[in-house]
Amino acid sequence: MQTIYKKAGIVVKPHNEVVFYLKSAITILKQLNVEVVLEKIAADLIEASSDVTRDEIASRVDVIILIGGDGTFLSVATQAVEAQIPVGGFNLGTLGFLTELNKDLLEEKLIEIFYGQSTVSERKLLEIEFKGERLLALNDVVANRGNISRVSKLLLEIDRERVVEFSGDGLIIATPTGSTAYSLASGGPIVSPRVNGFIVTPICPHSLTFRPLVVPDHSKIRVTSMSENNRVFFTVDGQKVLPMDTGDTFEVGLYNKKLKMIVAKEMNYFRLLNEKLNWGI
């Protein structure tokens, strides 16, 4: 029986226990006659040779196997989207909504993945335009005051309609995938990845009546910094931070490609929520 993927890239988060799982994954993949391409960080951990960077690996392989946490997953997500290859994440952390595969079932899950027995969930992304630059986000884009202990003033517009100008700590625009991240911690709703919408969640607004919104994902969302005495910063998937001066604007819409995320065949979204959030305990 032939595997459906021939060349696998391995990306890891440096961690006390990652070397054990990294070596195990390499052994299993070689037994499956899959060519292994190690990201340089992973190679260095086991004293192997590789000059392939995280930015390059998606263009060199036909699937990425990731061992780490959601931050590591987000660091390769946009490259995987552009290359249109799937990503399967084994979780080394405690929560892991993106890296949902169980590291203790590494051999079983790798066999399922490479023999086409796992499920691929397609996830939508945000496309952000700022000063001629295009950025992508799987989880969210966040506009806030950074480390400065002053409030931010932001103008929110949706489809060219003024929604609100408000003061507070900031604003989150999230995909359904990102609804369980910062947006949830800020009081936003949990939204199934099947929902065709974006979540707009204010962070500690001074107006207590400004509540989270769910809007169609064909909307164009525009955020303008109205803060006069301090800069606003916006963060894309927790990976990139850019400053906004007074009057600066970024616009958010739906990207035209989706991420192919490998999930366990026995897992559904509501079971995942139950396990990760300890519902019913």
Please count the helices (runs of H) and the strands (runs of E) in the chain: 6, 19
Catalytic residue among 70, 140, 169, 248: 70
Closest CA to 232 of 164, 162, 151: 151
For helices 18-31 and 106-114, angle between their N-to-C axes, nearest 10 degrees:
40
Task: Quickly list H helices, 147-259.
Answer: 182-185
Both structure tokens of 27? 């052994």
Query: Which residues lie below 8 Å from residue 205, measured CB to CB, with a gap of 6+?
Result: 166, 167, 168
Beta strands 170-174 and 221-225, pairing class: unpaired
Q: Is 44 in a helix, a strand, or coil?
A: helix
- Centre a 10 Å sphere on the Cβ of residue 141 and count the other Cβ atoms it contains: 27
Q: Do 39 and 12 meet the contact criterion of CB atoms below 8 Å apart? A: yes
Which is it for strands 259-263 and 87-91: parallel, antiparallel or unpaired?
parallel
Rounded Cα gap, residues 42 and 139, in angstroms = 25
Contact assessment for residue 13 and residue 76, using Cβ atoms and an 8 Å cutoff: no
- What's at 207, amino acid-wise? S
Q: Which of 139, 160, 166 is nearest to 227 (CA)?
A: 166
Catalytic site includes residue 62: no
Q: Among the residues of 134-208, which ranges form H helices?
A: 182-185
List residues with catalytic annotation. Answer: 70
